[in-house]
Amino acid sequence: MRGPPRHVVLLRLKLRIRGTRLNASRALAFKPYQTGVFFFSLILHILPAYAYPNH
């Protein structure tokens, strides 16, 4: 079983990289709830460090 030619593999790789980037931005656009929860937890983790700098 021989694989596809090299230029086809490279083209697929490029498309896959571009697709993952698109999927990431699309996920950020279409999942505001999950990103909101993520940023909320991030802020909850960061705020105590500012509130209690002596820790």
Query: From CA 17, how far away is CA 27, in angstroms rounded?
Result: 15
Mean pLDDT of 2-11: 81
In this prediction, residues 6-11 reach a mean pLDDT of 85
What confidence tens digit (pLDDT) does each residue in 19-40 have? Answer: 777 777 776 666 777 777 888 8
Handedness of CA 44, 45, 48, 50 (dihedral sign): negative
In the prediction, which pLDDT does 24 show?
73
